[in-house]
Each structure stands twice: as structure tokens, then as C-alpha cells.
């Protein structure tokens, strides 16, 4: 689908950048005039995807993470989070609620949260090559903007 706007940010997989990515996504999304609830959903989804890239994508090294934001026709926000890290061998399993390779510190709910806070979520991953998560969310047209 042809984007009506686009922004891309690349950052190092340091945990400090999770908040940066979340805020950047919220700032970009502001042009669609989201409600506070919608904005909260977007921030949470970005936060989960970026945390995964940082924690799981690059468990033993620092690597690059790409946040790509696009607006599509009909008030749709598309969020892509990509890493070039270890990848996921079984994406179907990884997407299941409560599946985690993160031990007791993790609850295995990240993908489930991303899925429930957006309209669509696609995960593409190749072991040894990296992971790309693409989410789309339609932002309701508000009466005041009509």
C-alpha cells in the first residue's frame, strides 16, 4: 500500500532507547489525531517490539534496531520494528501466549499484547538473520476532524 508519510529511525540496542522509540512513535502518530487510549496502545505495542529486539534479538551484543513508521490511506498507522539479530526458529510457537525463552524474568506475553493492541501483526524471521515485526492500527476519524 502506498504510504502517505514515512519516518525511519535506527538506533543501537541499548535499553535506554526503548523509551526513545516509544516516544518517537507517539510523536509521529500524533498527526493522525489519536485518542489517549489509541496513543497508549501504540506506545505499548512499540515498547514490546523494541524490547524484544533489544533483549532477544541481541542477547550478547549490541546491534542495530530499525523503527519504521508509515501512515497509510484511511488513517492507518504502520509500525515496523526490525533487528538483524539471532532470529526466531519457530515463529508460530513464539507468538503463543506465555511462550518465552527468557526464563522467569519474562512472561511471554509480548506478542499477545502487540496483537491485541493493534489490528494486524506480521512476524517475519530467519534464524541468524533477524526479525521483522509489522503492525497496523487504524486510528478512528474524530468528529472534530471531519
Ligand X SMILES: Nc1ncnc2c1ncn2[C@@H]1O[C@H](COP(=O)(O)OP(=O)(O)OP(=O)(O)O)[C@@H](O)[C@H]1O
Q: Which residues are catalytic?
A: 48, 52, 106
Residue 56 interacts with ligand X (CB under 6 A)? Answer: yes
Nearer to ligand X, 20 or 99 (CB): 99
CA distances from 58 to 37, 53, 84, 98 (A): 31, 7, 8, 21
Which residue from 8, 86, 75, 19 is spatially nearest to 46, judged by alpha carbons?
A: 19
Judged by beta carbon distances under 5 to 8 A according to partner kind, the member of ligand X, Mg ion, none in contact with residue 108 is ligand X
Sheet holding 64-72, edge to edge: 5-12, 64-72, 76-83, 130-138, 120-126
Q: Give 80-118 as a DSSP string.
A: EEEE-SS--S-HHHHTSTT--SSGGG--S-HHHHHHHHS
> Per-residue x/- mask for Mg ion, residues 110 to 139, rule CB under 5 A?
x-----------------------------
Residue 83 interacts with ligand X (CB under 6 A)? Answer: yes
Given 52, 71, 118, 134, the residue binding ligand X (CB under 6 A) = 52
Residue 45 interacts with ligand X (CB under 6 A)? Answer: no
> Where does this chain bind ligand X (CB under 6 A)?
48, 52-53, 56-57, 83, 85-88, 94, 99-102, 106-111, 131
Amino acid at each position: 500500500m502506498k504510504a502517505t508519510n514515512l519516518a525511519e529511525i535506527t538506533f543501537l540496542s541499548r535499553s535506554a532507547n526503548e523509551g526513545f522509540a516509544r516516544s518517537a512513535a507517539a510523536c509521529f502518530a500524533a498527526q493522525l489525531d489519536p485518542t489517549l487510549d489509541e496513543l497508549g496502545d501504540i506506545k505499548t505495542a512499540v515498547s514490546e517490539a523494541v524490547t524484544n529486539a533489544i533483549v532477544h534479538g541481541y542477547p550478547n551484543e549490541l546491534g542495530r534496531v530499525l523503527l519504521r513508521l508509515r501512515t497509510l490511506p484511511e488513517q492507518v498507522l504502520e509500525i515496523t520494528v526490525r533487528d538483524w539479530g539471532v532470529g526466531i526458529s519457530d515463529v508460530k510457537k513464539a507468538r503463543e501466549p506465555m511462550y518465552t525463552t527468557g526464563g522467569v524474568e519474562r512472561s511471554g506475553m509480548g506478542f499477545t499484547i502487540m496483537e491485541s493492541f493493534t489490528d494486524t501483526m506480521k512476524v517475519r524471521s530467519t534464524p541468524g538473520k533477524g526479525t521483522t515485526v509489522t503492525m497496523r492500527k487504524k486510528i478512528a476519524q474524530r468528529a472534530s476532524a471531519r
